[in-house]
Chains A and B, each alone.
Chain A
Amino acid sequence: MSFSSKPFMKNRLASVLALAAVVGLMAGMVGCASSAASPLPPTPRLRVATTTSLYDTGLWGYLEPMFEKKYKVEVDILSLGSGAAFEYAKRGDVDVLTIHDKPNELKFVSDNYGVERVPFAYNYFLIVGPGSDPAGIKGMDPEAAFKKLMGTGKGAFVSRGDNSGTHSKERTIWKNAGFDYEAVRKAGAWYVESGQGMGQTLQMASEKQAYTLTDMGTYVSYKSKLELVPLVDKGSILLNVYSVIAVNPQKVTVVKNLQMANNMISFLTSPDIQQLIGKYGVKDYGLQLFTPCAGSEPG
């Protein structure tokens, strides 16, 4: 090897570069290649933007293969806060939304971005916090609890701060408790915005021994990793409804998957799947995470 001549070296280096180019190009095609490997036309894909709570609890991971099998489609699930999910939908980058932010959902539909809002399951929000409950809010109404948090200044509160459905609910509670949200944000060091998903926010609250507002599904599935207990769980404002909305191709013209999106809606509201949603997690966590409510508003 040591007596390789210079021209040979040069050729070899050149061929290494050429090979590199070819390998690179081939590998670059990997995305297209994997779906185009079969002689049949590529499997259609349906893009769903979901709120993190339906993903982090594992519900989507459980339902996805069933839908894919039934309708011969690849489902791409993007787990996002509801705020981001709306943005993706308006740009036409997703075909369906599964979210929990009623006021913004209604606006999304009335602005014609969404075809129809179809509720398919619900549970409740909870205010959780340290067992010592320094502000003494246990068993109160949510609005009264928030007033007390503000009044006593005892105990920190971690907010999602990310325009998610949960964050939207938190702001509604502050408003109903009589506070301007901007004032709440500036109220003091006790009010913390995590800017992260529900799971991370719960972990942060647990580390800081702070209060936070959470959906029940995520709390229950994270419970074993947290040092937080439910403190406030009563009050009609805590109702948490999950809806499915197909993006409207008449408004968002780049969306072309309405039929498959409608299949998704029929799937989620079908009696079989509704029953599975109702049973989901019962075995692992000992209680129901989601109550099915096909097509109608609960409460």
Chain B
Amino acid sequence: MVEIWHGLTRAVQLIVTLDPEVMAIAGLSLRIAISSTLLAAVICLPLSSLIHFQNFRGKRSLISLIQTFYSIPTVTVGLLVFVLFSRSGPLGGLNLLFTPTVMVIGQIILVTPILLGLTISALSGVDRTITDTARSLGASGWQAAWVVLREARFAVMAAVILGFGRAISEVGLAIMVGGNIRGFTRVITTAISLETSKGDWELSMALGIILIIIALVINIALNRIQQR
């Protein structure tokens, strides 16, 4: 148990001294998770509106399928992306394996089902009369969708926060497609995994605490945005 206390003091020490290696690792974690969450949001918000407002055959099954992928293991996404981007794989020519870029791509795939599914349920929670009113006032389909999306913004933001949480905390994908390369693709979670295997539990604990602090700052910022 003493490791937790030591980890806490070590975390404070690393933050106060702005330890360059830890700062670089934390910065990369943050950049990758933010990029993948935002890119996924840009894809998913219009797409989920489309799915929500259109009526088509198999809509319920599609939504069930999306929800099923909430449970996809991070290493399975990692394996898929690995095989795609491996030099012998179909996208090997891009030479992206073991780069931060491919980690972003993988995390977009990981976060997309959560954002899609939760945004669709957020939209379903909005009173139908709002859509009808917007339409009767002459709003186009997309304008009406925008109104509803805005009405559901708290729930949508919750989905984005959850997506970000999944992206920054996952380790299976990051270690598989990133390779945990020092100074290049090492992020907080893969560093924790390595330091734990090396037996430096204090540093592992400290890194975990730093990740939580980052998440706290991001959540405060997002709460500010949504309360305006």
A and B held together in a complex: yes
Contact segment of A9-17, A129-137, A182-190, A268-276: A9-17
Q: Does B119 contact A (CB under 8 A)?
A: no
A56, B99: Cβ atoms closer than 8 Å: no
A47 to B99, CA, bound (A): 12
Q: Are B98 and A199 in contact (CB under 8 A)?
A: no
Q: Is the CB of A21 within 8 A of B86?
A: no
Please give the distance in Å from B79's CB to the nearest CB on chain A: 12
From A23, A34, A79, A252, give the contact of B180 (CB < 8 A). Answer: A79
Q: Which residues of A contact B104 (CB under 8 A)?
A: 27-28, 31
Q: Indicate if the CB atoms of A25 and B181 lie closer than 8 Å.
A: no
Contact check, A17 vs B42: say whether CB atoms are below 8 A apart. yes
Q: How far does the alpha carbon of A283 sit from the alpha carbon of B87 in the complex, in Å?
A: 41
Cβ 8 A contact of A91, one of B87, B98, B150, B199:
B87
Minimal beta-carbon separation of A42 from chain B (angstroms): 11
- The answer to whether the Cβ of A1 comes within 8 Å of any Cβ in the partner chain is yes
The answer to the question of B184 belonging to the interface, with a C-beta cut-off of 8 Å to chain A, is yes
Given A28-B39, A30-B100, A78-B98, verify A17-B45 contact (CB < 8 Å).
yes
The yes or no answer to A197 lying at the interface (CB within 8 A) is: yes
Q: How far is the CA of A16 from the CA of B96 in the complex (A)?
A: 29
Encode contact with B along A49-78: 1 for CB under 8 Å, 0 otherwise.
000100010000100100000000010111
- Please tell me if the beta carbons of B198 and A20 are within 8 angstroms of each other in the complex: no
Q: Is A178 an interface residue (CB 8 A)?
A: no
Residues 112-135 of chain B, each 1 if its beta carbon lies under 8 Å from chain A, else 0: 000000000000000000000000
Q: Please tell me which one of the listed residues B89, B180, B199 contacts residue A199 in the complex, with CB atoms under 8 A apart.
A: B199
Name the interface residues of B86-106: CB closer than 8 Å to any CB of A.
86-89, 92, 96-104
Q: Are B86 and A93 in contact (CB under 8 A)?
A: yes
A78 near B181: Cβ-Cβ < 8 Å: yes
Q: Knowing A61-B182, A77-B182, A222-B199 touch, does A20 contact B101 (C-beta < 8 A)?
A: no
The majority secondary structure among interface residues of chain B is helix
Complex: how many Å from CA A241 to CA B179? 25
Chain B residue with Cβ nearest A23: B38
Taken together as a complex, chains A and B put the C-alpha atoms of A254 and B103 apart, in Å, by: 22
Residues in chain A near residue B219, CB distance under 8 A: none
Of the residues A27, A30, A92, contact of B87 by C-beta under 8 Å = A92
A103 at the interface (CB under 8 A from B): no
B42 touches A92 (CB 8 A): no
Complex CA–CA separation, A16 to B38 (angstroms): 11
State whether A93 and B87 are in contact (beta carbons under 8 Å apart), knowing that A30-B35, A199-B197 are contacts in the complex: yes
A262 within 8 A of B: no
Residue B225 lies at the interface, judged by CB distance under 8 Å to chain A: yes
Contact A27 B198 (CB under 8 A): no
A31 to chain B, nearest CB (A): 4
The answer to the question of A123 belonging to the interface, with a C-beta cut-off of 8 Å to chain B, is no
Give the complex CA separation of A18 and B102 in angstroms.
23
Give CA–CA (A31, B102) in the complex, Å. 9
Minimum distance in angstroms from B97 CB to a CB of chain A:
6
**In contact, A24 and B198 (Cβ under 8 angstroms):** no
> Which of B87, B92, B180, B199 is close to A78, meaning CB atoms less than 8 Å apart?
B180
Whole-angstrom CA separation of A183 from B194 in the bound complex: 33
Instruction: Decide if B34 touches A254 in the complex (CB within 8 Å).
Output: no
Which residues of chain A have C-beta atoms less than 8 A from B173's C-beta? none
Instruction: Collect the chain B residues with CB atoms within 8 Å of residue A255's CB.
Output: 87
Determine which of A1, A24, A47, A78 lies in contact with B42 in the assembled complex, contact meaning CB atoms within 8 Å.
A24
Contact in complex: A27, B179 (CB < 8 Å): no
Bound-complex Cα distance A31 to B88 (A): 21
A74: B residues at CB distance < 8 A: 184
Interface digits, B3-38 against A, CB 8 Å rule (1 contact, 0 not)?
Answer: 000000000000000000000000010011011111
Is A32 a contact partner of B199 (Cβ separation < 8 A)? no
Q: Is B228 an interface residue (CB 8 A)?
A: yes
Distance between A215 CB and nearest chain B CB, rounded to angstroms: 15
Nearest-neighbor residue (CB-CB) of B105 within chain A? A28
B197 touching A20 by the CB < 8 A rule? no
Query: Which among A1, A61, A197 has the highest number of chain B CB atoms within 10 Å?
Result: A197
What is the minimal beta-carbon distance from B73 to any residue of chain A, in angstroms?
A: 16
**Contact residues of A with B, CB < 8 Å?**
1, 9-10, 13, 16-17, 20-21, 23-25, 27-32, 34, 47, 52, 56, 61, 64, 74, 76-79, 91-93, 196-197, 199-200, 203, 222, 225, 252, 254-255
Which of B's residues lie within 8 Å of A, judged by CB?
28, 31-32, 34-39, 41-42, 45, 86-89, 92, 96-104, 146, 150, 179-182, 184, 194, 196-199, 225, 228
Additional pairs, 8, CB under 8 Å, beyond known A31-B104, A79-B180, A254-B88: A10-B146, A16-B225, A24-B38, A24-B39, A28-B39, A32-B99, A52-B197, A74-B184
